[in-house]
Amino acid sequence: MKELKAKGACHCGAVEYLARGEVMMNGLCHCPNCTRSKGVSPAHLIALHGENSVEVTQGDELLQTRVLDKFHLVTCKMCHGPVMQYQEGMGFRVVFPVSLDLRRGDAGSDHGADRIPDEWKPQLHLNYENRLFDWDDGLPKFKVFPPDSPLKSDGTPLD
Ligand SMILES: [Zn+2]
Ligand SMILES: [Zn+2]
């Protein structure tokens, strides 16, 4: 399976980390934990296998974790920017492409543009039942998690 290796940072840059691991999912999530904690909808996230797939390389002492049920959101104390999130006991870590160095070629590609390279564009929508509005982008959509309950862009069942 595809591997990610990219440096990341919080909004102010005081916290830096290395995200490295096998990609479990690269998608746009519409669930409240992902969206309301950051004020975006949807949130572009990459889930990596392994509880050690995010290594904080600077600013460890600035990390704060907010726990809501089993959802853990790790942010920087200075800027409150997200570093990673995860579900307790699920064995993965979630990082956010917007905070990764993917667009500067640190993931091994030689693109020079500002945009995320095609290989890191989101592959699907999850928790699509929570969307604010419909997305006609041609990506597969799932009511909650893939592969169950695939939906059309208007939210009706695919089959
Ligand atoms: Zn920060
Ligand atoms: Zn989510």
The tens place of each residue's pLDDT in the chain, 159 residues long, gives 799 999 999 999 999 999 999 999 999 999 999 999 999 999 999 999 999 999 999 999 999 999 999 999 999 999 999 999 999 999 999 999 999 988 654 444 454 556 788 899 999 999 999 999 999 999 999 999 999 999 999 999 997
Ligand whose nearest atom lies closest to the CA of 30: 2
- Report how far residue 97's alpha carbon sits from residue 19's, in angstroms, rounded to the nearest whole number: 10
Token pair recorded at residue 127:
């928790």
Cα-to-centroid distance, 13 and ligand 1 (Å): 5
Neighbours of ion ligand 2 (CB under 5 A): 29, 31, 34
**DSSP structure string for 42-79:** SEEEEEEESTTSEEEEE-GGGEEEEEETTEEEEEETTT
Cα-to-centroid distance, 53 and ligand 2 (Å): 18
Question: Domain spans of the chain?
Answer: 3-117
Ligand whose nearest atom lies closest to the CA of 76: 1
- Domain 3-117 belongs in CATH node 2.170.150.70: yes
> pTM of whole model > 0.95?
no
